[in-house]
A = this chain, B = another copy of it.
Amino acid sequence: MDPIRIIEVKESVFADNDRQAEALRGQLRGERTFLMNLMSSPGSGKTTTLLRTIEQLRDELRIGVMEADIDSAVDAETIGATGIRSVQLHTGGMCHLDAEMTRQGLAAIGTEDLDLVILENVGNLVCPAEFDTGAVKNVMILSVPEGHDKPLKYPLIFTVCDALIINKIDVLPYFDFDMEKVVEYARMRNPKLEIFPISAKTGEGVSAWTDWLKQQVKAWNDPA
């Protein structure tokens, strides 16, 4: 495996992040590349979920992964070991990515020959939700050990996401996690939210999630 490329991405000097995000989406539309922004708390299983997602979709879609972190390259190395094209983005201490940082990452990975690029955002339920990265869809993971009250405490991220993956359902017996309540609280924030309970560890529920994602990618890349 080639050594992981580490890209130091720099915050935009432009004030209008939303306009830059729209421009980036326009460019991706032209290239028939779907960008997915994946957000969650630290340790909710973003990278393991990506491994499962890659496993299910790599025969049908050409996939690339951008791993954003403040430091280290452990996640990009994990993804790189699958043979999938990946880069590690370092944010210089920043708690989120903006559209310009995402653009720099996309330029580094090269998107012309990719159907799906997944951005694994910095582990944080607050700041990443405030910045449109230019992604076509936003997806978040909430893991069972984090508790079912999170939509009450971190409302914005549930509002801006299109899909919620509830990960680590294999450990449900060991935690006081109320699946009905989390669905109720999450839908209170966002009635249209798609919800996928999965275990990235055992594979349970993963295909419902990847079927949905595949559909979104096809709708974007091959509009009727």
Which residues of A are in contact with B by a Cβ distance under 8 Å?
Answer: 41-44, 69-72, 74-75, 93, 95, 122-127, 130, 143, 145-147, 149-150, 152-156, 168, 170-171, 174-175
Contact = CB atoms under 8 A, between A and B. Distances in A.
Contacts of A95: 95, 124, 126-127
A174 B126 CA distance: 28
Contacts of A41: 41-43, 123, 146
Contacts of A123: 41, 125, 153-154
A42 B127 contact: no
Given A41-B42, A174-B171, A70 B126 contact: yes
A87 to B, nearest CB: 16
Contacts of A71: 152-155
Contact of A174 (B69, B75, B122, B174): B174
Contacts of A44: 146
20 contacts: A42-B125, A42-B150, A42-B153, A43-B150, A70-B153, A70-B155, A74-B149, A74-B153, A75-B153, A95-B126, A95-B127, A122-B126, A123-B153, A123-B154, A124-B126, A127-B127, A143-B145, A170-B174, A171-B171, A174-B174
Nearest to A145: B145
A145 B43 contact: yes
Considering residues A74, A75, A126, which has the most beta carbons from chain B within 10 angstroms of its beta carbon? A126
What are the 8 A-B residue pairs with the smallest beta carbon separation, nearest first?
A43-B146, A145-B145, A95-B126, A72-B152, A43-B147, A41-B41, A41-B42, A69-B153
